[in-house]
Amino acid sequence: MTNASEKDIARVTELIGRKPQGEFEVVVRDKTGDPVVVKNAPLLFDGTPMPTRFWLVGKKEHMAVSRLESAGCIDIAESEIDPEELRLTHERYAIERDSAIPSEHVGPRPHGGVAGTRVGVKCLHAHYANWLVDKTDVVGQWIDKRLQQG
């Protein structure tokens, strides 16, 4: 994993309100270059598993998704999305994240799919971050449609 620059570490610290506890790289930026999504290492500096591979840090995007969560959209998304498509989303996410764990690693490992869950929808922010990275997250796509509708 590419280490983040000092400038990115400072900006992400500002955006999330604390210094990141593991390696990350900025994988999506807005048109001004500000971080929107970071890709976290699967293990924190102290070896703690980090199940959330893609983290939504963009201020505008975070607020927009927070409004959806506040409006009860986790349950709505879960009721409208095909369970098999959601299962595949979690599976792809876990495979991508787990592929970054060193083969010699022993000890606790991250588990589950998006945001560490195995089934259902836990966090719209994590799904939307995943969608912004590679457009394969079915929940992220659902979120994107709602955000486009305003």
Q: Looking at the predicted structure, is the pLDDT value of residue 31 above 80?
A: yes
- Number of independent structural domains in the chain: 1
Residue 64 lies in a domain: yes
- Cα distances (angstroms) measured from residue 62 to each of 79, 87, 122, 126, 150: 23, 24, 15, 10, 15
Q: Which domain holds residue 24?
A: 6-149
74/107 Cα distance (integer angstroms): 32
Residue 1 lies in a domain: no
Residue 111 lies in a domain: yes
Q: Is the Cβ–Cβ distance between 24 and 2 less than 8 Å?
A: no
Q: What is the pLDDT of residues 61-77, one digit of tens each?
A: 999 999 999 999 999 99
Q: What is the pLDDT of residues 74-103, one digit of tens each?
A: 999 999 999 999 999 999 999 999 999 999
